[in-house]
């Protein structure tokens, strides 16, 4: 899912910003980290979802949930690659909010 879709689905700006470090970020649950691992695996050429990763996914997610996760990852990969062909840039649907100043006491 892209940043705009993630934001619409309830992801915070901090979570979106922390995605590159999802493995070590305390902002994500173990289930979310596992889903991100799957998404990352689908970026490889060729796609390689190891038996070990799939086994961990099957413990956490139902078959229907795995189908949905795989479909979302495939769709986002398709969209991203398609857009690059035509040099389609981000269209501004996602804009992080400015950080609030921390109150000093």
Q: What is the pLDDT of residues 33-79, one digit of tens each?
A: 999 999 999 988 899 999 999 999 999 999 999 999 999 999 988 98
pTM of the predicted structure, to 2 decimals: 0.76
Report whether 15 contacts 36 (CB < 8 A). no
Asked whether residue 61 is assigned to any structural domain, the reply reads yes
Give the number of domains in the chain: 1
Asked whether residue 52 is assigned to any structural domain, the reply reads yes
Cα–Cα distance list, 48 to 19, 41, 42 (Å): 20, 6, 7
pLDDT score for 26: 97
Asked whether residue 19 is assigned to any structural domain, the reply reads yes
pLDDT score for 5: 65
Which tokens go with 44?
Answer: 């490889």
Q: Mean pLDDT, to the nearest integer, of 87-105?
A: 66
Asked whether residue 104 is assigned to any structural domain, the reply reads no
pLDDT score for 39: 93
pLDDT score for 74: 93
- Residue whose structure tokens are 């795995």: 66
């Amino acid at each position: 899912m892209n940043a705009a879709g993630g934001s619409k689905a309830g992801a915070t700006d901090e979570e979106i910003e922390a995605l590159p470090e999802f493995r070590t970020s305390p902002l994500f649950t173990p289930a979310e980290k596992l889903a991100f691992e799957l998404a990352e695996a689908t970026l490889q050429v060729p796609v390689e979802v190891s038996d070990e990763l799939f086994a961990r996914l099957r413990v956490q997610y139902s078959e229907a949930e795995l189908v949905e996760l795989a479909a979302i990852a495939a769709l986002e990969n398709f969209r991203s690659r398609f857009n690059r062909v035509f040099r389609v840039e981000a269209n501004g649907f996602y804009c992080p909010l400015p950080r609030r100043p921390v109150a000093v006491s």
